[in-house]
Structures are given as C-alpha cells and as structure tokens.
C-alpha cells in the first residue's frame, strides 16, 4: 500500500504515561500528526500531556486522542483503520513489576496479548508494508543475571509476570517482522526516569519523599530492597532513541542504557542530599535504617511489604549497538537525574495542598 502523502502520522499507545508524554512532544516538534490512545478513567489522566493537549474542537489539531484499551481488539482495529499511522509506538502496558504479581492475568492480557492485537490489526488491515511498529521492550527481560553488561545477545530469564508478558511481546514482534516482513523493532530499554515518572516507581517515590520531608509534609519513607542495582537514564533521551529506531531502513532490536549501575540506597543518599537533608544508613537487611545526619531523625525504614517474590538484583546495559548503528547517545547520568527530579519535586511539594490523611 502506497503512502497517500509524505505526512508522518504516529499512533502512540500509552500516550498518557511518562514516555508517551515525552515522545508525543518530540514527534509534534518534528512535524508529525500524533494520535494517542487513552483509557477511560473516572478522573483526569491527561495531566502529563496537558500543555500539548488541544481543544478537540480545533478544526486541525496535531494531537488527537482516542479512547481505547489494549485489551479490546475491535477498538484497536478501528483506531488503526481510521488513523492509518505510518508509525505505531506501543508504549501502553501495566508497567509496574510489583503490581504484576498481584494482577498477573491482566498484565499478560494487556502487555503480551495487547501487543499481538496491535500487530494483528496492522496485518488484518493490510498495512504490513506501510506501518512501522515499535515495541516497548525492557531490561526486565534479562531478570536473573546471566551476564553483565547486558546487550542484545544476552539470554533472557524473566523474573515476574510483567517480564514474562513482555517476553511474549518481544518475540511476537520479532516473529511478525520475520513472518510478514513488517518494519517491527524492539527497544530493550533499561530504566528511564524523569520528573514525569509515575509516583510508585522507586526513583520518584524517593525524590517525592525527600522533597515532602524537606517541606515538613512527610515524616518517613518506607522502601523495599535497598541493594537492587539499576541502570537509570533520562526518559526524554530514551524516547529520542525510540524514534531513531523507527527511522532506520531496516527494523532491528536495540538496547538503550547508560552503562552505569547504581544501588537504590545510593539514589536515596543523592536525593536527600539534594533536598538538603544528608542521611546516613545504619544496620543491615530489614533492620537497615536511614537517619538525618544533622539531628538524627529516623527518615528511612525498610518495609518487607515492598520486597518482590522474585527480584531482579542487577541491571547494567551495554548500548554499543545503538551508539554505532543509530548514533544514539545519552547525556544524563543517574546523579544528574536525581538532582533534576528532586528540584522538580521540591516545587511540587512546596505548592501541593496539605494532605490531611498524613
């Protein structure tokens, strides 16, 4: 099927999430018409894209939102048929690893079968040679450490219902590329964060708490495994990498990572230092606690409820292929990331209404 014009039309699933917000901004800057799929919710869920969200009554909008869900194939087929995207970015997912142990079947439905539904929508509509497909794959696929640093050739060993669902999504994307000649690529992205990161992921939970404690709005922060090591980069830079993958003549799979790994405990130290409350840790295991260095206040406690039934202890990515083939590089390391997130949360917490439940 020939392209009706040179117009670039993107469809982003998960447009209301962290990456959806950065990617839609990037594509709008590049002149794309951007369509996003958002879920129906009982409260507003477009906060992250508020500034680019246009009045739906605008006769020629560049950002158009559609109600939809990855668990509803008829809805996906209809949206793909209406939009006829030149590029689909499949970012939607139940993306919380710990929550996937509580909702394994839903996670598989949205994250694994949802990906299949989208690929099938492209095929059913005869768009295999027209629509390029990006799958949001993850470093969680590596799971139980087989080797470090982890690259495109490192074996996978998923350690959660989330990772197992994403493993299916990874391979079905590869399979549709090989079986039907589709331009379908996996970005195997290591953890990427930002001031827009969801509040229950560990970096944001830490930076929000550091800011809230600094503003006297919270007393203490409870965390799980302080020893876990993650390769944390900046979401904005990783979304640029997604777009770069889609501009290649040939589809392929790429790792995006910084090549630096940091323990959760260290990220906590940085964030509290940036919030003006340096802390020191004492004790071990579940008895480990963090105290304010100046007045000895107990600020951090380990709560085993945040431990996972199976944990991914160490992630450290090797982005050499993305550097060499895409020319992708990152600018922000984990230390600067912590600083940027704390600065943003200091403002959020300064302006936040008093939470009477605390």
Nearer Cβ to ligand GDR (35/230): 230
| Cβ-based nearer residue to ligand GDR, 130 or 157 | 157
- Return the one option of ligand NDP, ligand GDR, none that residue 202 interacts with (CB less than 5 to 8 A, by type): ligand GDR
Find the shortest distance in angstroms from Cβ 276 to ligand NDP: 27
Q: For residues 124 and 78, is the Cβ–Cβ distance under 8 A?
A: no
Alpha-helical segments (H) within the chain? 18-29, 73-83, 97-102, 104-107, 114-124, 161-180, 202-214, 235-246, 264-274, 320-321, 334-351
Determine whether 131 is an active site residue: no
- CA torsion 194-64-256-243 (nearest 10°) is -130
Q: Name which of 33 and 268 has its Cβ closer to ligand GDR.
A: 268
Q: Is 193 a catalytic residue?
A: no
* 145 binds, options ligand GDR, ligand NDP, none, Cβ within 5 to 8 A by partner type: none
DSSP three-state, residue 150: strand
**Residue 20 binding result from ligand NDP, ligand GDR, none, given CB thresholds of 5 to 8 Å by partner type:** ligand NDP
By the rule CB under 6 A, 257 interacts with ligand GDR: no
List 86, 128, 131, 140, catalytic entry: 140
Q: Which does 225 bind (CB under 5 to 8 A by kind): ligand GDR, ligand NDP, none?
A: ligand GDR
Q: Does 140 qualify as catalytic in the annotation?
A: yes
Q: How far apart are CA 171 and CA 186, in angstroms?
A: 9
Nearest-CB residue for ligand GDR: 228
Instruction: Give the integer Cα–Cα distance in Å for 159 and 141.
Output: 8
Residue found by looking up tokens 């590329």 in the block: 177
DSSP secondary structure, 23-91, as one string? HHHHHHHTT-EEEEEE---SS---GGGTTTPPPTT-SS-SEEEEE--TT-HHHHHHHHHHH--SEEEE-
User: Which of 134, 142, 162, 254 is labelled catalytic?
Assistant: 162
Binding positions for ligand GDR, 192-231, rule CB under 6 A? 200-202, 205, 223-225, 228, 230
Angle made by CA atoms 104, 158, 180, in degrees to the nearest 5 = 90
Of 189, 232, 226, 255, the closest CA to residue 313 belongs to 226
Which of ligand GDR, ligand NDP, none binds 205 (CB below 5-8 Å, type-dependent)? ligand GDR
Using CA atoms, how far residue 312 sits from 185, 190, 229, 294, in Å, is 24, 12, 8, 34
Query: Nearest distance from residue 31's CB to ligand NDP, in Å?
Result: 23
Residue nearest to ligand NDP (CB): 17
- Number of residues binding to ligand GDR, judged by CB under 6 A: 22
Interface residue with ligand GDR among 115, 138, 150, 261 (CB under 6 A) is: 138
Annotated active-site residue in 131, 138, 154, 262: 138
C-alpha distances in Å from residue 12, one per residue of 76, 94, 135, 224 = 12, 15, 11, 33
**Token pair of 115 as six digits:** 């990906």
Site for ligand GDR in 76-95 (CB under 6 A): 95
Query: Which of residues 10, 33, 97, 113 is near ligand GDR by CB under 6 A?
Result: 97
Quick one: which of 263, 308, 323, 339 contacts ligand GDR (CB under 6 A)? 308
End-to-end CA distance of the chain: 58
Annotated active-site positions, please? 138, 140, 162
- The binding site for ligand GDR (CB under 6 A) comprises 95, 97-98, 138-140, 190-191, 200-202, 205, 223-225, 228, 230, 264, 306, 308, 311-312
């Amino acid at each position: 099927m020939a392209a009706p014009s040179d117009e670039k039309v993107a469809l982003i699933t998960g447009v209301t999430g962290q990456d959806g917000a950065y990617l839609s901004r990037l594509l709008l800057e590049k002149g794309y018409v951007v369509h996003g799929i958002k879920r129906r919710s009982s409260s507003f869920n477009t906060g992250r894209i508020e500034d680019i969200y246009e009045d739906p009554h605008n006769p020629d909008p560049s950002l158009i939102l559609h109600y939809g869900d990855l668990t509803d194939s008829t809805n996906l087929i209809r949206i793909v048929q209406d939009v006829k995207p030149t590029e689909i970015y499949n970012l939607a997912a139940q993306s919380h690893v710990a929550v996937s142990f509580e909702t394994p079947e839903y996670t598989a439905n949205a994250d694994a079968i949802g990906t299949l539904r989208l690929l099938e929508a492209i095929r059913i509509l005869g768009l295999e040679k027209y629509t390029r497909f990006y799958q949001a794959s993850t470093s969680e696929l590596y799971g139980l450490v087989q080797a470090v640093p982890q690259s495109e050739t490192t074996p996978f060993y998923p350690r959660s219902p989330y990772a197992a669902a994403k493993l299916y999504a990874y391979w079905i994307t590869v399979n549709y590329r090989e079986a039907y000649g589709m331009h379908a690529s996996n970005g195997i992205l290591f953890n990427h964060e930002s001031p827009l990161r969801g509040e229950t992921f560990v970096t944001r939970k830490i930076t929000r708490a550091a800011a809230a404690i600094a503003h006297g709005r919270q007393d203490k922060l409870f965390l799980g495994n302080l020893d876990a090591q993650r390769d944390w980069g900046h979401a904005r830079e990783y979304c640029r990498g997604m777009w770069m993958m889609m501009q290649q003549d040939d589809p392929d799979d790429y790792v995006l990572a910084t090549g630096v790994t940091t323990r959760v405990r260290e990220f906590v130290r940085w964030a509290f230092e940036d919030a003006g409350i340096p802390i020191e840790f004492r004790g071990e295991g579940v008895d480990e606690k963090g105290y304010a260095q100046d007045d000895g206040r107990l600020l951090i406690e380990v709560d085993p409820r945040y431990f996972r039934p199976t944990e991914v202890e160490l992630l450290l990515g090797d982005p050499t292929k993305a550097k060499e083939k895409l020319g992708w590089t990152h600018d922000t390391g984990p230390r600067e990331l912590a600083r940027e997130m704390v600065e943003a949360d200091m403002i959020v917490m300064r302006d936040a209404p008093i939470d009477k439940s605390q």
